[in-house]
Structure 1
Amino acid sequence: MSDILTITLNPAFDVSTSVGTVKPGPKLRCDEPRYDPGGGGVNVSRAISRLGGVSTAFVALGGQTGAMFHSLLDAEDFEVTQFDIEGNTRQSLAVIETSTSKQYRFQLPGPEWSPAQTARMLEHLRAHLSAGRVVVLSGSLPPGVPADIATTVNQLAVEAGAQLILDTSGAALAAAAGNPGPPFALLRMDGAEAAEVSGLKFATPAELADYGLDLIRKGAAERLVMSIGAKGTVGVSAQERFFCQPPKLETLSAIGAGDSMVAAIAMQLAQGASFPDAVRHGVAAAGSAVLTPATELCSKATAEEILGRVVTAEI
């Protein structure tokens, strides 16, 4: 059994392509498409493989697109545990406008889950939670799944002796910020998400760190990782407040940067690294990902090169 388990409840069959100009009306003749298995947890597992690590991916799949998705997973270098759902796995489309280098991203909704299907998923997942395992619940939630499902999954993980890293958005992130406990081992969000959830504005890393410490004191999480785009990433625990700043990099595509960051952090924590060192590796992996086009993820060699140029300072 691998030390890391990723969970993807709302995966997406990713299609990426490019076209000269995006405009309404006429048919747009796109370039040859690329197909990738997407969704937060799946991308974290893919990134872990690219960084030289091992994981198991727990993925909810269904229908014809689910079958195509699983065929793409067969080419990946990690173990897959499939949870069967009703309906077709959702699709997403990313289009680069070559005349401007702008990227357009379209996300389709997945099938709605019933309460019974959610209950079956939790029972199926329980068997994969074990003591000492690092569990990563990442990505959006399918329609019908309760916004606070991460709290339930975290409770199961804690009971099993595992630690849960959560990276989500929207209503699910708002619910996580109000988590009544036990605390998540680590909660990741970016500055814009923190502003949306809190209703506050954050002008500096220190202000973001203050908000993270407030969530820790309320019992939502033990550690917070909050990214401020290319500027860097704030790390907060009850004992530490720091800011990891990457070197200046030319961004080709931001897709996969957050997943690559979480992958590197999960790997380092599973290996017993300190929290600051884990975040430093995460920033380097994210930096590596933005240097790749379309839905490409991080590169181990590039991440290792960037790592030496990441500057960490106390807040």
Structure 2
Amino acid sequence: MTTILTITLNPTVDFATTAPHVLPGPKLRCSEAEFDPGGGGINVARAVRMLGGEATTLIAIGGPTGAQLLELLAFEGGSTVAIQGPGETRRSVSVIDESNGKQYRFVLPGPVWDEQDVERALVAVDRAASAGSLVVLSGSQPPGVAKDFPSILASHVDGRNARLVVDTSGPALKHLAETPREAVYLLRMNVEEAEDLAGRQLPAVADTTAFARELVSGGVAQLIVVARGTDGSVLVGGDEAWHAVPPEVEVVSAVGAGDSFVGGFALWAARGEPVEECLRTGVAAAAAAVTSEATRLCDKILTEELRSETKLTKV
């Protein structure tokens, strides 16, 4: 099976708790905190392992929070490659208001990087990525990292004869869309990000599919996935397009749904499954993730159940 390497430049220690009510002003008495390793690539690797696969996660760490992150990852098991990052590894906080079930998420920016930090990360990727591996870049970029980092990474991955999966946002996503790189195997985005790139609304599956076809034909990536929330996800690759919709589930927490999708997709792709089945698995894993509290991600048994009930349609 193809090996999976995930990259997290801006990891975090996720701090999750609940409060009877979330109101401004008074002290809020919270429940016992739960700490989890977080950041896009870390969560993708965790999702892969939860679904029965193996993945190595490459992370940049710094300070006492970075040490805590390594402890959390060691407790969960799995392979980790750590490089020295600047400053202190960030934290993020999520609080659920018990009175109404609403979740409040506070995400810090992380330490500022310079060119030497970026170069050190690229050298680490070159050493960790084996020929033919599936490399996943997921999550936000730290302050100071240029918007063209995914494009630069694509060149490094291509040189290793590996495949690159990118799940990013903001200026990095826009730059990647404007600077096509055939080395990108899969580019994932949500429908809001797709609409921002398209400069128009994409209200229906047909609209999303048409825009994804534009990106594929323009050489942005071999495969484009657009997540449409409860309406599932659309995948376009070559002359084919697919739409996968999971069964309705109770949403407990939205944390980790996208990372669970990428983890499920990547694991099935590493096993050599057809892309439409990779899509089905990703959608099921995302649906499973939203039923769990905090950052527990996708339960394997539930994902398998939802996978069998996920509707897959050729568009």
1:119 aligned onto 2:125: no
- Quote the offset at 1:186 in angstroms: 0.2
Residue of structure 2 in register with 1:19 after alignment = 19
Residue of structure 1 in register with 2:47 after alignment = 47
Residues 256 and 295, structure 1, Cα contact 8 Å, conserved in 2: yes
- Quote the offset at 1:197 in angstroms: 2.4
Residue of structure 1 in register with 2:251 after alignment = 251
- Quote the offset at 1:288 in angstroms: 0.9
Distance 2:127 2:282 in 1: 29
Consecutive unaligned residues of structure 2, counting only runs of 5 or more, are none
Residue of structure 2 in register with 1:189 after alignment = 189
Residue of structure 1 in register with 2:85 after alignment = 85
Residues 2 and 55, structure 1, Cα contact 8 Å, conserved in 2: no
Residues 20 and 97, structure 1, Cα contact 8 Å, conserved in 2: yes
Give the secondary structure class of the aligned counterpart of 1:74.
helix
Deviates more, 1:255-264 or 1:194-203: 194-203
> Residues 79 and 49 (structure 1 numbering): CA distance in 2 closer, same or farther, change over 3 Å?
same
Q: Which amino acid aligns with 1:31?
A: S
- Quote the offset at 1:277 in angstroms: 0.6
Distance 2:77 2:281 in 1: 21
- Quote the offset at 1:77 in angstroms: 2.5
1:210 aligned onto 2:210: yes
Distance 1:294 1:61 in 2: 22
* Equivalent residues in 2 for 1:1-315, closer than 5 Å: 3-315=3-315
Residues 62 and 84, structure 1, Cα contact 8 Å, conserved in 2: yes
Give the secondary structure class of the aligned counterpart of 1:127.
helix
Give the secondary structure class of the aligned counterpart of 2:128.
coil
Q: Deviations over 1:44-63 (max 9, x none)?
A: 01111110000100001111
CA RMSD, aligned part only?
1.2
Q: Which amino acid aligns with 2:11?
A: P
- Quote the offset at 1:183 in angstroms: 4.1
Distance 1:2 1:271 in 2: 7
Distance 1:182 1:244 in 2: 25
Give the secondary structure class of the aligned counterpart of 1:278.
helix
Residues 2 and 54, structure 1, Cα contact 8 Å, conserved in 2: no
- Quote the offset at 1:2 in angstroms: 7.0
Distance 2:77 2:282 in 1: 20
Residues 59 and 80, structure 2, Cα contact 8 Å, conserved in 1: yes
TM norm structure 2: 0.98
Q: Which amino acid aligns with 2:17?
A: T
Distance 1:207 1:100 in 2: 34
Q: Deviations over 1:70-96 (max 9, x none)?
A: 110111231000011121001100000
Runs of 4+ deviating beyond 4 Å: none
Residues 42 and 57, structure 1, Cα contact 8 Å, conserved in 2: yes
- Quote the offset at 1:229 in angstroms: 0.4
Distance 1:11 1:195 in 2: 27
Distance 2:7 2:31 in 1: 32
Distance 1:198 1:110 in 2: 29
Residues 2 and 132, structure 2, Cα contact 8 Å, conserved in 1: no
Residues 12 and 38, structure 1, Cα contact 8 Å, conserved in 2: yes
Deviates more, 1:195-204 or 1:227-236: 195-204
Distance 1:90 1:219 in 2: 35
Q: Deviations over 1:161-194 (max 9, x none)?
A: 1000000111111112123323410000111111
Q: Which amino acid aligns with 2:254?
A: A
The number of residue pairs the alignment matches comes to 315
Q: Which amino acid aligns with 1:290?
A: V
Q: Which amino acid aligns with 1:34?
A: E
- Quote the offset at 1:198 in angstroms: 2.3
Q: Deviations over 1:24-44 (max 9, x none)?
A: 111111111000000000000
- Quote the offset at 1:125 in angstroms: 1.4
TM norm structure 1: 0.98
| Amino-acid identity (%) | 42
Distance 1:151 1:276 in 2: 26
Q: Which amino acid aligns with 1:149?
A: F
Q: Deviations over 1:206-233 (max 9, x none)?
A: 1101111101111110001111101111
